[in-house]
Homo-oligomer: A and B are copies of this chain.
Amino acid sequence: MSRVRWGIIGAGSIASRFSEALAALPDAETLAVGSRSQDSADRFARANGFFRAHGSYEDLAADPDVDVVYVATPHPFHAENVELCLNEGKAVVCEKPFTVNAAEARRVVELARRRGLFLMEGMWTRFFPLMERLRKVLAGGAIGEPRMLTVDFGFRAPFDPASRLFDPNLGGGAMLDVGVYCVSFASMALGPPVRGTGLSHLGETGVDEQFAAALDHGGGRLSSVTAGTRTATPHEATVFGTEGYLRIHSPWWRPEAMTISKPGTGDVLVREPTEENGFVYEAAEVMRCLRAGKKESEVMPLDETISVLDAMDRIREAWGLRYPGEEAGA
Contacts and interface: CB of A to CB of B under 8 A. Distances in A.
B220 A198 contact: no
Interface in A201-250: 201, 203, 209-216, 220-226, 228, 230-234, 238, 240-245, 247
A240 to B, nearest CB: 5
A154 interface: yes
A244 B154 CA distance: 11
Interface residues of A, number: 46
Contacts of A147: 210, 228, 230-231
Contact of A226 (B222, B228, B241, B243): B222
A295 interface: no
Given A222-B201, A226-B222, A148 B156 contact: no
Contacts of A212: 148, 214-215, 222-224
A212 B261 CA distance: 21
A145 to B, nearest CB: 9
- The 8 nearest A-B residue pairs measured at CB: A201-B220, A212-B214, A212-B224, A147-B231, A199-B214, A212-B222, A199-B216, A198-B214
Interface of A: 147-148, 150, 152, 154, 156, 195-201, 203, 209-216, 220-226, 228, 230-234, 238, 240-245, 247, 261, 263, 318
